[in-house]
Amino acid sequence: MASARTTVAALLLSLLAALASSYSVPMFATRRSSMTMRKGRKSLRKTVASGLSSSTGAVRPMAGAEPAQRASNWVAVSGISSRSDLPSEEGKVKVVETMAPQLIDGATTPAGAVSVVTYEGKTYCTDVSCPSCKIPLTKARILEPNEETGGADPRIACDFCSATFNVRTGERVEDAKGTGFVGGIVKGLMSANKDQSNLQTYDLGEKDGKVLINLP
């Protein structure tokens, strides 16, 4: 009886050993393939980076000599083929679809949309919606610079809740006045719970005739 059990056990061990040896090569091949894929991805990243953000010093910021963001991650804007596609009307907010993965949100901005506006020859770019009321800034008012913006940067005021920001840096400033009857009611209802976050802004630049956006 004991001899039969020993024989069965030996056969099982032999079978397991054979199975293990048969899977050893595919496992190695998988690891090698994984290493190759990782190398390929690294090469792809280098290729994309060299094509979009090499020689970042050559990128000319559109909102002034000093970019609002210190880090440089310039990528092409698919919704703008050249500077001629930018809004030409002063103070008129235009929505542009960037298709940048960092800006895509399936629920709110499936195409990575941003707001772009021109003021006194400079072009500014912000999130597409107001951080306070989450309403798109398509009808936002562009206001002249004041003391809060150092007398240099214009302000953008949400047409719905009156939340106001430095359009270049996104910093929150005093809410604009003159919202009208409906706007006044909305402002009163939202004032207690209004989000006081700053507005996300993005630097736009130009290089070799192409418009680039500096993503965080």
pTM over 0.85: no
95 conformational bin, left if phi > 0, alpha if psi -120 to 50, beta if neither: beta
The pLDDT tens digits of the residues spanning 58-108 come to 888 898 766 666 678 899 888 888 888 888 899 999 999 999 999 999 888
Q: How far apart are CA 195 and CA 199, in angstroms?
A: 11
The pLDDT tens digits of the residues spanning 143-199 come to 999 999 999 999 999 999 999 999 999 999 998 875 555 555 555 555 555 668 999
pLDDT of residue 64: 74
R_g of the chain, CA atoms, integer Å: 28
39-48, 61-70, 183-192, 201-210: which has the highest mean pLDDT? Answer: 201-210
pLDDT of residue 72: 83
